[in-house]
Amino acid sequence: MTSSYISSKEQARHYFQQPHTSVPSAPIRGAAAWLGHELAAAPQRWSVDLTAQHIAELDAALAACAHMPTQALTADTFVLSELAEVAAGWAAQVHRGIGCLRVRGFPVQRWTQAEAERAYWGLGLYLGRPGAQNPEGELLGHVKDYGERADRPEVRLYRTSANILYHCDAADIVGLLCLKPARSGGASRLVSSVALFNAVLEREPELIPALFEPMLIDARGEGKNAWNALVPCAWNGERLHTFFHSDYFRSMARHAQAPAHSAAQQRLLHLYESIGNEPGFYLDMEFAAGDMQLVSNHTVLHARTAYTDWDEPAQRRHLLRLWLTVS
């Protein structure tokens, strides 16, 4: 029987194997080249609500597979009908369209946490193929503050309440389902990496070649190497793929024995952050309980603002995360 999920190595191999033909010399147009103020003015482009029919299908699927372990579910055991087709359209919009989507109305306050996990995993099977999020094989991540120190390089920042800089994850799509929001803060900040490329091309075109050359990235304790070399961008003549991870690129400085980033690479890190945080360039998505966010890791960079949590442990911010392979 074929597994419904893939390993972190399989997922990363698929994600990074992007065809590259040339370095583009003109601005890239298309749905993925948006500016934040454009989306903020047209929420119907990126925000939808579940219907009563969709929720009824999820409830029925939950009841039918209540006896099964969550990660043993398949599309044959977690059966959706209308919502299956709708979910395929959502995945296409994120993977081949504007690169982001918010779906509101999951009844997480009525469901138990176990039911929410099962429903989210089951829906994920129709959005793509779930993959492990680290070498330990974590498949359904729990994004919350574990009280770990954000200044330690081996700590993954999603396990803290700290600000997280712009980055991509090594999967086609990252999905988050909010079980409980923070008391304040914790917005998901999105920026089009296609629009960022266009802005760099306009403002400092001499830096463009550095986007298509290897850049050292800190492994931060994951895998056998202390660091790796990755090429941030690939262009196949039709689509620009970007992998960017500011925190991990920047923490290369702790490896004194590693070659330093070039002046162009250091300038690119600064420029991506500064342009990406210009008012009007990014879109902030606030999370309410029952919101699901889907983001492309090819055409969108995502960040998170720092947050203040509730004093009561049962109320504290808690999101479920999926990494999905689409094609």
Query: How far apart (Å, rounded) are the C-alpha atoms in residues 199 and 205?
Result: 9
Inside any domain, residue 24: no
Asked if 173 and 124 count as a contact pair (C-beta separation under 8 A), the reply is no
Inside any domain, residue 1: no
Tokens 């193929």 correspond to what residue?
A: 129
Residue 165 belongs to a domain with what CATH number?
3.60.130.10
Per-residue pLDDT for 166 more than 50? yes
pTM of the model: 0.96
CA triple 127-132-133, angle to 5 deg: 100
Name the band, by pLDDT with cuts 50, 70 and 90, for residue 1. very low
Per-residue pLDDT for 2 more than 70? no
Name the band, by pLDDT with cuts 50, 70 and 90, for residue 154. confident
Inside any domain, residue 288: yes
* Amino acid code (one letter) for 223: G
pLDDT digits (tens, 9 = 90+) for 182-203: 999 999 999 999 999 999 999 9
Task: Give the domain extent around 291.
Answer: 8-14+29-325
- Pairing mode, strands 283-285 and 141-143: unpaired
Inside any domain, residue 279: yes
Inside any domain, residue 3: no
CA 241 to chain CA centroid, nearest Å: 14
Inside any domain, residue 21: no
Residue of 235, 83, 92 whose CA lies nearest to 173: 92
pLDDT digits (tens, 9 = 90+) for 255-288: 999 999 999 999 999 999 999 999 999 999 999 9
Asked if 60 and 80 count as a contact pair (C-beta separation under 8 A), the reply is no
DSSP assignment of 70-122 equals GGG--TTTS--SHHHHHHHHHHHHHHHSSSEEEEE---TTTS-HHHHHHHHHH
Packed helices 113-127 and 82-96: angle between N→C axes, nearest 10 degrees? 70
Overall average pLDDT of the 27-53 stretch? 98
Farthest CA pair distance, the chain: 59
Per-residue pLDDT for 327 more than 80? no
Inside any domain, residue 22: no
Per-residue pLDDT for 153 more than 90? no
Contacts of 191 (CB under 8 A, 6+ apart): 36, 166, 276, 281, 282, 283, 300, 301, 302, 303
CA 138 to chain CA centroid, nearest Å: 15
- The upper half-sphere exposure of residue 94, i.e. CA atoms within 13 Å in the direction of its Cβ, equals 30
pLDDT digits (tens, 9 = 90+) for 229-259: 999 999 999 999 999 999 999 999 999 999 9
Inside any domain, residue 19: no
DSSP assignment of 134-202 equals STT---SEEES--S--TTSTTS-GGGSSS-EEEE--SSSEEEEEEEE--SEE--EEEEEHHHHHHHHHH
Q: Give, in order, the Cα–Cα distances in Å from 155 to each of 144, 159, 164.
A: 13, 7, 12
Residue of 226, 271, 286 whose CA lies nearest to 104: 286
Domains in the chain: how many in total?
A: 1
Backbone angles phi, psi at 56, to 5 degrees: -65, -40
